Amino acid sequence: MVRVREAVERELADEESLKERRLAAEASLVRARATETELEELLRADVSLLSRAHETWFALSGLRERLRGTAGLAAERVRNAAELPC
State the pLDDT at residue 9: 83
- Residue 86: the pLDDT is 66
Instruction: Output the DSSP codes for 34-64.
Output: HHHHHHHHHHHHHHHHHHHHHHHHHHHHHHH
- Asked whether the predicted pLDDT for residue 10 surpasses 90, the reply is no
User: CA torsion angle for 16, 17, 22, 25 (degrees, to 10)?
Assistant: 150
The CA distance from 56 to 54, in Å, is: 5
User: In angstroms, rounded to a whole number, what is the distance separating the alpha carbons of residues 35 and 79?
Assistant: 65
Residue pLDDT, tens place only, 12-64: 888 888 899 999 999 999 999 999 999 999 999 899 899 999 999 999 999 99
